[in-house]
Amino acid sequence: ANSTTGGEIWRSNDGTAWVQANTDGFGDSANTDISALKVFDGQIYAATTKVSGGDILRSNDGTTWTAVLLNGFGDPGNYVIEDLEVFNSKIYASTWNSTNGSEIWSSTNGSVWDSVDLNGFGNPDNIRIQDLQVFNGYLYACTSNNISGGEVWRSDDGNSWAQVASGGFGDNTNTNLQSLCPFGDYIYASTGQSAGGEMWRFYRAYLDPLITGNVYDAKTGELIDSPIVSIYQEGKDEAIKTSNTNPYRVNVDDGIFYFRVEKEGYIFPSNTVAAKTNGDHGELFAATGDEMSIDFYMDPGYPLELKKTASKKNAVIGDIITFNISIKNLSSTKWTNSVVIHDMLTNGFKFVDNSTYIDETKSFEPVIQDRDLQFQVNDIPGYTTINLSYQVRVGVGMVPGKYTTKAYAWNSIRDWRLSNDTSCKIIIQSDPIFERGTVIGKVFEDLNGNGKQDKDEDGVEGIGIFMENGCYAITDKNGKYHIASILPGTHSLKVKGNYNFSTENPKVIDVTEGLPVKVNFGLLNRNEYASSEDKFFIVALGEGISRNFTKKGNIEMIEKNDKYDIMSNVDGKFALYLKGKVKGKYLVTASIDTDRRKDKFGESEYKTKLLKNLDPDKYYPVYGDASESGYDADNTQDMLYLMVEWNDSYIRWGTFNTDIPLYNRTFHGGSVKYSSVGKTDFGIPKTEVNAFAAQIF
């Protein structure tokens, strides 16, 4: 102490030669005492005594000092900063305050300080904390109390404190507990009183078991920053102690316990590092009073693995889609009341009330915020998989195209991510009833040649009507037919057979979405030509638009993927269907349609396995006929479909299913099947070859 010029700090590198390391009182003579020194985070800290409130200063080199706290934490009553101590990655400071009682403050960086206790542990008579000391995982503090005698307090986390000695160790004349010192298995306390000071000690065997250790990244071996290490009693789901430092330290009573370690982006326990110590993989272990060390390893990654699927890949307006999210727990940790599944619902999808199930049990409805469905999942046992399902309806505002929905898991307690992103694609298709057209009609024998079916003129059964895109219908016994789900636009229909007609054949029509088009065909002298057969049957359609313009005036606006050049804009389509035999042996079926290249969204209309292949389980309009329809020559993802058949062999280009083992799925590309004419005694071809080159459909 130097009440004239201020307190001083001296230093020596050999213990004999000393030099002053600060200016007197750090330039303020009111700093009469340097009451404490402590090293924290690579810097040396000094605490002072000052009438207007003690200061705390620090230095990187031991000679140049900077104030980090002035005037007793803003209270002149804290005129002495009594002691400094480091515990659980923080620096602590205690004060002497005769007005309100002693105080304890802490800081993680030495610059910003938080209050820990402000009134002598609830007793203003505890006016002074002369010493702070760390022993066996606890931070200890000893007080001066002129009324009932000094006290000893301790904390295992630096925030919550418990009294462990009171009344001056049973003698209230021990008013000042002046110093604490760990030595061996004991912590010692010294007292001050008029009859003579005393020394007391406390044996650590009487303390709760201390468990310490480190938490490592199993891949890199490096320490993980600020993991949450929690310890639980056997059979309990509520942690009794938690640490967020690394290394961690917890004190517990004797008993059976298990650990749980958490950190965003990590899985506990490690599935790649084998168990080394009992308890390090979350299993039960016994704590019996001895100090223990248990290290933990965590694998990088998320502890939950999500996979989202849908009940159907293709849907139309009004459809109900069931989404399922499989939630796989990759760890032994049981997740209880902390997992929320966030599912971002695509615009146009409408959640169906009361449709939420976990496995086969009805569950809580989600909280819906904007498009975010938030499902609370109560229990996910370790190393198990559960399934969350719910339903949506395809709204009327959705337009055809591809839509992606995404889901992930979130820890609602820790406020961090628990899983991967999982997504599911749904293709919204044109509704074949409202967004496609239908051709209906009749083929009849026109006896009077007036182009209309009169009362005594019958329909003709078994007549084939073909379109330029390869779709066809075969009339029923009344001559009626229909071809459903036709793309809007211009099309050509042609009756197969060498007949004379009282009506146009082929017939060019315009199809409007949602509306039927009626096309009747009248046959003249049907019986005269009934035996005649087309050797090669062809239906073709071509149309185009050309717009010329100059550079004068406003330039015509274009859209992405428009076809244009400098002087003209040309667009159109060409379609052709043919069927017939070549050399009397090879049956050729082919179609070309440029409209198959792109739809109005820039995607292949035929990547969705053709809307023309109608779902037999759905309701579609009934047209009062029993005609047969087919789309084989339209079964392709690009402009071309080709099938060449002979005997039991064929060559094909288009979309097809294959029954080859391990490849039983739908493809698009080329396929070949060759079966020899020669047969075994069992009627099986002696040689058979199946091959294909295709992309998965």
Whether 567 is in a domain gets the answer: yes
Least confident of 11-20, 359-368, 539-548: 539-548
User: pLDDT tens digits for 247-273?
Assistant: 998 888 788 999 999 999 999 999 999
Integer angstrom CA distances of residue 657 from 98, 664, 666: 91, 7, 5
CATH at residue 308:
2.60.40.740
Residue that is written with structure tokens 């400094």 in the block: 84
Provide, rounded to the nearest whole percent, the portion of the chain with pLDDT above 90: 52
Give residue 600's pLDDT: 40
Q: What letter does residue 419 receive in the DSSP assignment? A: B
Question: Do 173 and 269 fall into the same domain?
Answer: no
* Beta bridge partners of residue 292, listed in sequence order: 211
Segment 82-92 shows an average pLDDT of 95
Question: Do 263 and 325 fall into the same domain?
Answer: no
- Could you tell me the pLDDT band of residue 628, with boundaries at 50, 70 and 90? confident
Give residue 436's pLDDT: 80
* Beta bridge partners of residue 49, listed in sequence order: 33, 80
Give me the torsion for CA of 121, 123, 129, 131, rounded to 10°.
-60
* Beta bridge partners of residue 41, listed in sequence order: none
Assess contact for 693 and 672: CB atoms under 8 A: no
Q: Which two tokens stand for residue 51?
A: 């009438």
Coil, strand or helix at 497: coil
Residue 129 scores a pLDDT above 80: yes
Q: What is the mean pLDDT of the chain?
A: 85
Whether 139 is in a domain gets the answer: yes
Whether 63 is in a domain gets the answer: yes
Coil, strand or helix at 246: coil
Question: Do 377 and 282 fall into the same domain?
Answer: no
Which of 553, 554, 550 shows the shortest CA–CA distance to 568?
Answer: 550
User: pLDDT tens digits for 485-540?
Assistant: 888 889 999 998 888 999 999 999 999 888 899 999 999 977 655 544 556 677 77
Question: Do 295 and 312 fall into the same domain?
Answer: no
Question: Do 312 and 280 fall into the same domain?
Answer: no
Q: Which two tokens stand for residue 563?
A: 């076809």
Question: Do 487 and 611 fall into the same domain?
Answer: yes
Cβ partners under 8 Å of residue 129, min gap 6: 82, 83, 94, 95, 96, 102, 103, 104, 141, 142, 143, 144
CATH at residue 171:
2.120.10.30
Question: Do 315 and 293 fall into the same domain?
Answer: no
Assess contact for 70 and 23: CB atoms under 8 A: no
Spatial distance between the Cα atoms of 282 and 664, rounded to a whole number of angstroms: 45
Question: Do 494 and 600 fall into the same domain?
Answer: yes
Assess contact for 587 and 581: CB atoms under 8 A: yes
Segment 54-69 shows an average pLDDT of 95
**Peptide bond between residue 247 and the one before it cis (omega within 30 degrees of 0):** yes
Give residue 447's pLDDT: 92
User: pLDDT tens digits for 402-461?
Assistant: 999 999 999 999 899 999 999 999 998 877 677 788 899 999 999 999 999 999 999 999
Question: Do 323 and 295 fall into the same domain?
Answer: no
Which of 680, 679, 693 shows the shortest CA–CA distance to 648?
Answer: 679
Residue 33 scores a pLDDT above 90: yes
Residue that is written with structure tokens 């083929």 in the block: 443
Residue 126 scores a pLDDT above 60: yes
Question: Do 269 and 178 fall into the same domain?
Answer: no
Q: Whole domain around residue 165: which residue ranges?
A: 10-206
E strand spans, 162-291: 162-165, 176-183, 186-192, 199-203, 210-213, 215-217, 228-233, 241-243, 248-251, 255-262, 266-267, 285-287
Q: Which two tokens stand for residue 326?
A: 């499989």
Residue that is written with structure tokens 């084998």 in the block: 274
Whether 442 is in a domain gets the answer: no
Residue 616 scores a pLDDT above 50: no
Q: Which two tokens stand for residue 601?
A: 């969204």
Spatial distance between the Cα atoms of 140 and 158, rounded to a whole number of angstroms: 9
CATH at residue 251:
2.60.40.10
Question: Do 36 and 83 fall into the same domain?
Answer: yes
Higher pLDDT, 624 or 478: 478
User: pLDDT tens digits for 638-695?
Assistant: 788 888 888 888 898 887 776 655 555 667 788 888 888 788 877 788 788 888 887 6
Cβ partners under 8 Å of residue 230, min gap 6: 239, 241, 242, 243, 259, 260, 261, 262
Whether 202 is in a domain gets the answer: yes
Whether 41 is in a domain gets the answer: yes
Spatial distance between the Cα atoms of 486 and 629, rounded to a whole number of angstroms: 12
Q: Which two tokens stand for residue 402?
A: 């591809």
Whether 447 is in a domain gets the answer: no
Give residue 198's pLDDT: 67
Whether 438 is in a domain gets the answer: no
Give me the torsion for CA of 86, 87, 93, 99, rounded to 10°.
-160
**One-letter amino acid for residue 40 of the chain:** F
Give residue 668's pLDDT: 75
User: pLDDT tens digits for 350-383?
Assistant: 999 999 999 988 988 999 998 899 999 988 999 9
**Count of domains observed in the chain:** 5
Spatial distance between the Cα atoms of 91 and 104, rounded to a whole number of angstroms: 11
Coil, strand or helix at 576: strand
Final residue belonging to a domain, choices 266, 300, 334: 300
Cα angle: 270, vertex 276, 281; to 5 degrees: 40
Question: Do 398 and 254 fall into the same domain?
Answer: no
Residue 611 scores a pLDDT above 90: no
**One-letter amino acid for residue 111 of the chain:** S
**One-letter amino acid for residue 174 of the chain:** N
Final residue belonging to a domain, choices 300, 320, 343: 300
Coil, strand or helix at 314: strand
